């Protein structure tokens, strides 16, 4: 799902209970992460829940390396947050990823006020991981 569609759908929902259900629904749409991708190397540090992210890099994009992300979590809300981040970042050139401010999206959706501090920290840890992978793709 495109990030603009997620933002539009989010704005249609007035109640936070509905928004939480929508986030969980987004998480259910994530493709299954293969068991062999659930490794320590793919684990995201700084998340209270178990979170795994695997990054595939295509080096031959016209705008430089393109990153595609795969991930999963053992928490429903966190899976939804992963889906939101992947809608924002996955399939994009590394330079675009570096220039995209996910914290601004976090603010726009009102997530800061409605997530626990632990989930907010985990969200930032996932963003840091994505940004780190983009930096690494630009500087092999």
Quote the crossing angle between the two packed helices 16-28 and 3-12, to the nearest 10°. 150
- Token pair 């493709």 is found at 31
Domain count, the chain: 1
Query: Which of 23, 26, 47, 85 is flagged as catalytic?
Result: 47
First to last CA, the chain: 30
Six-digit token string for 22: 């929508």
Query: Over 80: is that where the pLDDT of 61 sits?
Result: no
> CA 103 → CA 50, 68, 99, distances in Å?
21, 20, 12
pLDDT for the residue 80:
96
> CA 9 → CA 1, 29, 74, 132, distances in Å?
11, 15, 25, 29
Say whether 68 sits in a helix, a strand or coil: strand
pLDDT for the residue 38:
96
The alpha-carbon radius of gyration of the chain (Å, integer) is 15
pLDDT for the residue 60:
76
- Maximum CA extent, the chain: 45
What counts of helices (H) and strands (E) characterise the chain? 7, 3
Average pLDDT over residues 36-56: 94
Average pLDDT over residues 9-32: 94
Domain that holds residue 31: 3-138
Q: What is the pLDDT of residues 73-127, one digit of tens each?
A: 999 999 999 999 999 999 999 999 999 999 888 888 888 788 888 888 889 999 9
Query: Over 80: is that where the pLDDT of 140 sits?
Result: no
Q: Is 47 annotated as catalytic?
A: yes
pLDDT for the residue 8:
94
Average pLDDT over residues 60-73: 91
- Predicted TM-score (pTM) of the model is 0.93
Average pLDDT over residues 54-59: 94
pLDDT for the residue 110:
86
- Token pair 């939804």 is found at 80
CATH number of the domain enclosing 134: 3.90.1010.10
- Token pair 């501090």 is found at 117
Average pLDDT over residues 14-40: 95
Average pLDDT over residues 46-67: 90
């Amino acid at each position: 799902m495109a990030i603009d569609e997620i933002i539009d759908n989010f704005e249609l929902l007035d109640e936070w209970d509905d928004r939480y259900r929508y986030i969980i629904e987004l998480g259910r749409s994530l493709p299954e992460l293969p068991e062999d991708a659930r490794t320590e190397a793919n684990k995201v540090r700084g998340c209270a829940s178990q979170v795994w992210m695997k990054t595939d890099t295509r080096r031959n994009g016209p705008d430089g390396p393109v990153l595609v992300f795969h991930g999963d979590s053992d928490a429903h809300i966190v899976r939804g947050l992963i889906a939101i981040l992947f809608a924002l970042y996955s399939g994009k050139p590394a330079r675009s990823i570096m220039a995209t401010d996910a914290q601004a999206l976090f603010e726009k959706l009102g997530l800061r006020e409605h997530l626990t501090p632990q989930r907010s920290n985990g969200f930032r840890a996932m963003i840091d991981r994505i940004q780190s992978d983009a930096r690494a793709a630009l500087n092999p």
